Amino acid sequence: MKITVSNLYTTTRKLDKFTQTGVDKYVKTANKLASDAAVRYLKRETPTRFTGSLKRAYSRSTSRNSSSVFIRGEKQVKKFNILDKGRKSVVPRNAKFLYIPLNKRGFSGYGKKLKSLKFGVDFVLTKFSNSVPPKGLRKGAINVAKARFNERMNLMKYK
């Protein structure tokens, strides 16, 4: 999954003071700052449950003309899509009940059949889980990146 921050500066302005290479350098810096702002926003707004692996999966990649925000790992992309778009309620497919951990101990003990896990304290078994409402992380990150990009480009006007 990729959120691209490239080509935010689509309108070409005639700038008297700057050469084309100076403008390119300025746009490249603005792209980098915008993608950094998007990563900071995503890390701040992503909820952490037990491991925080989704927050650690965000990274920034810079090419010649653009900067992109990437999410490393297939599982992390699935988690991000669930947070971004939401999810309907989940029902078990193969078992009678759905295992839902309530704390870190129940999360790490799943599948090990530990006798020390307590029902109602560490985990619960249920017929279905509630739906997850969408958080709109992608749209928020793009809006933050656009605002940071425009802020940087406005500095160029007044030089």
State how far the Cα of 98 lies from the Cα of 124, in Å rounded to an integer. Answer: 8
pLDDT by residue for the chain (159 residues), tens digit each? 455 544 444 333 444 444 455 667 778 888 888 889 999 999 999 988 778 888 889 888 877 667 778 888 888 888 888 888 998 888 888 889 888 888 877 777 766 666 778 887 888 888 988 888 998 889 999 999 999 988 988 887 665
Residue owning tokens 């490239």:
6
CB atoms inside a 10 Å sphere around CB 119:
10
Q: Please, are residues 150 and 10 in contact by the beta-carbon 8 Å criterion?
A: no
Position 103 scores a pLDDT of: 80
pTM for the model stands at: 0.72
State how far the Cα of 158 lies from the Cα of 155, in Å rounded to an integer. Answer: 6
Long-range CB pairs of 152-155 (<8 Å, 24+ gap) are 152/26, 152/29, 152/30, 152/33, 152/34, 153/9, 153/26, 153/27, 153/30
State how far the Cα of 156 lies from the Cα of 15, in Å rounded to an integer. Answer: 9
Q: Please, are residues 69 and 3 in contact by the beta-carbon 8 Å criterion?
A: yes
Position 43 scores a pLDDT of: 92
Position 7 scores a pLDDT of: 40
